[in-house]
Amino acid sequence: MSKRIVHIIGTGTIGEPLIGLFTAFEKQWEIDEVTFHKRTPLTDERAKVESMIRRGAKLVVDSDKVKDFEGIGHTVSYTADEAIARASAVIDCTPVGNQLKPRYLEIAGPKVYMAQGSEFGFGQQYARGINDSALNLDERFVQIVSCNTHNICGMLKTLGGQVNGDIAVEDARFLCLRRSTDISQASGFIPAPEVGKHSDPRFGTHHARDAWHVFKTLGHDLSLFSSAVKLPTQYMHVLQFSMTLSQPTTKAKVIERLQSNPRVALTEKRSAATVFSFGRDHGFYGRILNQTVVPPACLHVSEDGLRVTGYCFTPQDGNSLLSSMACALWYMDGSDPRQRLQETLHPYMFSEI
C-alpha cells in the first residue's frame, strides 16, 4: 500500500494549526507522515518551527534555502518538490494557491491539492457538512472556502434546509464584520472601521459568491448578497444575516433548528471577546471547530414569520480547518471520514459556548 502523507504549505494562521491537528491524530487517522513547507528562514520563528518538528512533522524547504535553514539550527527533511511528489494530500495555506497551480499540475503523485479561502477558480468548492455529497474524488483540485463563507453556508442550510435537500430560502443578505488581523499578526491592524467594496456585480463580495458556488454543486441557484466591513479587532469575525424563507416560521422553531445541528454552537455570550476566550481556553490550538456560534437572544423573526435576522460568530478559521482535514481524509480513505472525525474531534465541537 502507498503511504498516507499529508503535506502542508505555509505555517500561518491556517497552516500551523493544521500541522498540529494532523500530527496529534496521526495514529487515529492512519497518517504515515506529516510534512510542512516553510518559505523563509526566520530566527524569530525558529521556536515555532522546532515545536512542530517535535510534534512529529518534518520540515520542507525550497532547494536553494536548505543551507539557510540549517544555518539557524533546523533539520531539513525534504525539498519542496520532493515533498509534493511524495504526498497523498497537499494543503496549500498560502494566499497564492492559484499562482502555484501550474506547478502542481506537473506533479502527478498527490491525490488532492487544496487551496484556502478566496482562491476562487482553484478547484471544486467544498465545505464540510454542506456539500459532501457533491465532492468529486476524481477531481484533484479543491477550494476550501473561507471561514465566513462556511458560516454563510451553515446558516443557509440550518435555517432553510429541507428533508428533500431543497434550501427554502428566497433571498439572503449577509454583512461580514471582519477582524482586521489575527492575534498572531503584528502588522496590518487598522485604527478605525474600514468599509469594503462591492466588487462582484451579482453577489457583492466573494463570500456570497463562493457560498452560491458551494450550493450550485448541489443543484441550487440561491439569491445571495454579501457586504464586508473590517473592524479594528483581532478577536473574531461576526456575521449578520437576514433571510427571507419560503415558509413562515417562529423564533422557537428557528432555535430548535439551530439546536438540532451538531455543527452549530449556541451561546448566551454577545461579545466576540468572550466567545474567542472560550475557544482559546477549550478549543484545539485555540480553535472552535463548529461552523458557527449563534446567540439566540439576538434572533429576530418578522411578524409574518418569513424574515429571520440575527448575528453569529465565525469561529476564526476553525470551520475551514475542519473542512481541510475532512477533505484530506475523504481522498485518502475514498469514503466519508465521519467516523474518524467523530472519534477524534468530538471534544472540540461544542453545542454550547
pLDDT at 165: 94
Note the pLDDT tens digit of each residue in 96-120: 999 999 999 999 999 999 999 889 9
pLDDT at 1: 52
In total, how many domains does the chain have?
Answer: 2
Indicate if 155 and 217 belong to the same structural domain. Answer: yes
Q: Confidence band (pLDDT; 50, 70, 90) for 3?
A: very high
Indicate if 265 and 334 belong to the same structural domain. Answer: no
- Portion of the chain with pLDDT greater than 70, in percent: 100
Indicate if 104 and 171 belong to the same structural domain. Answer: no
Q: Is residue 210 part of a domain?
A: yes
Indicate if 193 and 303 belong to the same structural domain. Answer: yes
pLDDT at 2: 80
Q: Is residue 115 part of a domain?
A: yes
- Portion of the chain with pLDDT greater than 90, in percent: 96
Indicate if 132 and 162 belong to the same structural domain. Answer: no
pLDDT at 325: 97
Indicate if 160 and 129 belong to the same structural domain. Answer: no
Indicate if 303 and 160 belong to the same structural domain. Answer: yes
Q: Is residue 353 part of a domain?
A: no
Note the pLDDT tens digit of each residue in 157-201: 999 999 999 999 999 999 999 999 988 888 999 999 999 999 999
- Which CATH number covers residue 34? 3.40.50.720
The half-sphere exposure of 47 on its side-chain side, counting CA atoms within 13 A, is 1
Termini Cα distance of the chain: 42
pLDDT at 139: 97
Cβ burial, residue 191 (10 Å; 0-12/13-18/19+): exposed
pTM of the model: 0.95
Residues spanned by the domain of 116: 5-144+319-348
**Distance between CA atoms of 70 and 73, rounded to whole angstroms?**
5
Q: Is residue 140 part of a domain?
A: yes
Q: Confidence band (pLDDT; 50, 70, 90) for 19?
A: very high
Residues 315, 289: contact at Cβ < 8 Å? yes
Indicate if 228 and 271 belong to the same structural domain. Answer: yes
Indicate if 27 and 80 belong to the same structural domain. Answer: yes
* Res. 264: pLDDT tops 60: yes
Indicate if 113 and 233 belong to the same structural domain. Answer: no
Q: Is residue 224 part of a domain?
A: yes
* Res. 206: pLDDT tops 70: yes
Cell numbers given for 335: 469514503
- Which CATH number covers residue 219? 3.30.360.10
Note the pLDDT tens digit of each residue in 120-144: 999 999 999 999 999 999 999 999 9
Note the pLDDT tens digit of each residue in 308-343: 999 999 998 999 999 999 999 999 999 999 999 999
pLDDT at 93: 96
Q: Is residue 331 part of a domain?
A: yes
Indicate if 160 and 54 belong to the same structural domain. Answer: no
